Structure 1
Amino acid sequence: MRDFNYKNLLALKLPVRIYELIAGIYEYKGKQELYVANFSDVLDKMVEVAKVQSTKSSNAIEGISTNDSRLEELMNKKSRPRNRNEEEIYGYREVLDLIHENYEAIELTKNNILSLHNKLYSYSGENHKGKFKTIDNSIIEVDSFGEKRIRFQPVSAFETEASIDRMLAAYDEAVRAKIPPLLLIPTFVHDFLCIHPFSDGNGRMSRLLTLLLLYKNGFFVGKYISLEMLIENTKDLYYEALEASSGNWHKGKNDNLPFINYMLSILYKAYRECDERFKLIGEKSLTSAERVMKVFENSLEPLSKSDLILLCSDISQRTIERALKELKDGDLIQQIGKGRATKYIKA
């Protein structure tokens, strides 16, 4: 049976890249705390946008989706779920809300993990909710031709609860030993995925636990920038890192660095994007058109109106539309495409 000893992380030979990521994350973290203290009144919309993106993306990674209009109704709680996909989307949003509002009180215990899983499925009739798996499961990969292969064989159902107990005990010991959280959290999440303790919902639970542990350690960027969306956008790299860190996992001889590097890259990117948005919020002296223009100056990709609404979350949609017209009339940006496919780029 696999042993868990997170103190071994102190013996890792970290590549320069990981040191750079950790240093960058802490630098952005300090700056973010200043922005939050000074501009707390305009951050609520960023939080709500990130929640919607997180709910959509974390479920989409698992092939669970609905159309945008239904997603908006569900997120604003203007409608009840109509099918299984919507039940699971609705449940994810509820767990996300719970973590956002109560992370300090949610200890990392077996009962709390089971409770969060139960809440994830609280709108469905699944009888596995809030319970560890009773049948062995496998992590299956399906290629573009529909061919299936077992990518990883998780812990057996018989060993699952004991493995979770040992993993949680090792985590608590690592916290007392002051193991760096940016090494500990990705390693713990990867171990959780290798145990694969539930019949369904393991991927979503892993991302919710990631947020919970980051918040409990003072890394709040996931409130303002959706980590789940960044993971969805790099899904192939996510699965590659998972697999690279899973070899010889059962023997305790796996390499944790690929998954640590991937998760720190996601966290760093989130902090960098958050910093760019906070800078725009802080530039109150600029006109709306000037602030929208700054977004174009920092982007190499064409941007849609929806993109700008997300990137300038404290500016209303109507004001952004006026700014786009002003910038277009002034030949500062040019339009690409028509109708719903309309995007703009710096001229």
Structure 2
Amino acid sequence: MKALQNMERIQVNHEVMLLLLSVYESKGKEFYYDELFSRDSNVYEKKVVLDNAYYFAKIFSFDLTDSRLKLLAKKDLLSKNKEEQFYINIREALTLVQKNPKDFELLVNEISDLAKLLSEQTNPIKYQTYKSEEIAILATKKEKSKKEDLEKLIELFNKQIKTKQYELSQLIANFYVDFLNMKIFSDKNQEIALILLYALLIKHFNVFKYVSFFKNFNDFKTIWKSGLDQANYYWETHYAQTDLLSRVLVDILKKSYEEVDEFSREYAFEKNLNKSDNIENTISKGNEVFTKEDIRKAHPTVSEATIDRTLKRLKDENIIRPLGKGRSSKWIRIVESRNKNKDQQLTLF
């Protein structure tokens, strides 16, 4: 608790203050985003869970191939080993967080349940114990569980939030540093800490309902590690240097809001258009050779059935044809589509 106990040490410089103002200005648009994406909220939820699970594994260097990671994230497959089972457990935990972000409460029982979920059919994750300084009968030291320390940490975090003296991302960063250094569990403290950090962020910042936190976090992984090393070095002295970690969180938030703002404009434009025509337009303007995955990435809210139906229609109309068979087969555009011809005529004026 040495970081949260000494929040007075933190000073916010002018540059970070401007970034925070930008983030909270964007946060004010969350009601608009929720209304705009309401029709496809389930689609975004599934996509973000898949991305989160995949990049979480990348952050922690899971010994699994990319294709296996993506397959395990998408489908309910039986694990071949403990590494795969742990990844499946991570996916389940992230799914639960994503489904009901506002319902998450930072409670000991919640964290205990998380540890239990992550340890299913893998190695056990238990609360650490230690000898207390209290002298008991026969001059023996009493063994205490770090579960009690976790209760105190959570109590302090909630108390600091209620004071409204400190910015939220700074409190979350300092909670994260305390949790890691206190070594609450026998195993997987880093993974649990990062999931808790994410759960706290998505509870208060809706942007992560539509944008993958762990995908953006992965881009800052190196600088985050540097900031964490710096914070850990001074933690024992009660002067953990968490400025860099807080700055990274703000940068991730800013980048995420910019991302959702960018695709929300495109989404709003396409919302009332025919989805099949949109796909045809993408094909007509894109590379001559393309894959079904390219279409999925360009139109994440369009159903698989609509994509298949559009590809079949364009094939029947001799606009495209398949190159090979199977899941990874490619397509080639053989004639210009009607949509592209229309666009070309419009550009003349």
TM above 0.5: yes
Q: Is the contact made by 1:280 and 1:291 (CA closer than 8 Å) also made in structure 2?
A: no
Which residue identity is paired with 1:28?
Answer: S
Which residue identity is paired with 1:214?
Answer: L
Rounded to whole Å, the distance in 1 between the matches of 2:282 and 2:31 is 24
Q: Is the contact made by 1:62 and 1:203 (CA closer than 8 Å) also made in structure 2?
A: no
Q: How big is the shift at 1:248? A: 1.4
Aligned to 2:258, what secondary structure does the other structure show?
Answer: helix
Rounded to whole Å, the distance in 1 between the matches of 2:82 and 2:57 is 12
Within the candidate set 26, 30, 38, 1:40 is matched to 38
The 5 Å alignment of 1:229-240 reads: 229-240=215-226
Summarize the Cα distance change of 1:192–1:123 in structure 2 as closer, same or farther, 3 Å threshold: same
Which residue identity is paired with 2:39?
Answer: D
Rounded to whole Å, the distance in 1 between the matches of 2:180 and 2:158 is 18
Rounded to whole Å, the distance in 2 between the matches of 1:65 and 1:242 is 24
Q: How big is the shift at 1:311? A: 5.2
Q: Is the contact made by 2:3 and 2:235 (CA closer than 8 Å) also made in structure 1?
A: no
Rounded to whole Å, the distance in 2 between the matches of 1:37 and 1:97 is 22
Within the candidate set 274, 282, 288, 2:278 is matched to 288
Q: How big is the shift at 1:11? A: 5.8
Within the candidate set 244, 254, 257, 1:258 is matched to 244
Which residue matches 1:207? 194
Aligned to 2:177, what secondary structure does the other structure show?
Answer: helix
Q: Is the contact made by 2:129 and 2:144 (CA closer than 8 Å) also made in structure 1?
A: yes
The 5 Å alignment of 1:96-245 reads: 96-124=94-122, 126-127=123-124, 129=125, 131-133=126-128, 160-178=146-164, 179-217=166-204, 219-245=205-231
Partner deviation per Cα, 1:96-118 (whole Å, 9 max, x = no partner):
12222344444212222121111
Q: How big is the shift at 1:14? A: 0.7
Q: How big is the shift at 1:158? A: 6.8
Within the candidate set 7, 24, 27, 2:25 is matched to 27
Q: How big is the shift at 1:162? A: 4.6
Q: Is the contact made by 1:225 and 1:270 (CA closer than 8 Å) also made in structure 2?
A: yes
Q: Is the contact made by 2:207 and 2:260 (CA closer than 8 Å) also made in structure 1?
A: yes
Partner deviation per Cα, 1:76-95 (whole Å, 9 max, x = no partner):
44322121121011101111
Rounded to whole Å, the distance in 2 between the matches of 1:305 and 1:260 is 39
Which residue matches 1:148? none
Q: How big is the shift at 1:34? A: 0.2
Which residue matches 1:82? 80
Which residue matches 1:141? none
Rounded to whole Å, the distance in 1 between the matches of 2:47 and 2:37 is 17
Q: How big is the shift at 1:210? A: 1.7
Partner deviation per Cα, 1:110-167 (whole Å, 9 max, x = no partner):
222121111112232x23x2x22359xxxxxxxxxxxxxxxxxxxxx97844542332
Q: How big is the shift at 1:5? A: 4.0
Of all paired residues, the percent bearing the same amino acid is 23
Summarize the Cα distance change of 1:17–1:235 in structure 2 as closer, same or farther, 3 Å threshold: same
- The structure with the largest alpha-carbon Rg is 2
Which residue identity is paired with 1:224?
Answer: Y
The 5 Å alignment of 1:50-65 reads: 50-65=48-63
Gaps in structure 2 of 5+ consecutive residues: 131-142, 321-330, 338-349
Rounded to whole Å, the distance in 2 between the matches of 1:123 and 1:77 is 18
Gaps in structure 1 of 5+ consecutive residues: 136-156, 297-302, 331-347
Residues matched between the structures, number: 297
Q: Is the contact made by 2:129 and 2:145 (CA closer than 8 Å) also made in structure 1?
A: no
Rounded to whole Å, the distance in 1 between the matches of 2:86 and 2:23 is 32
Q: Is the contact made by 2:3 and 2:177 (CA closer than 8 Å) also made in structure 1?
A: no
Rounded to whole Å, the distance in 1 between the matches of 2:149 and 2:33 is 41
Rounded to whole Å, the distance in 2 between the matches of 1:22 and 1:311 is 31
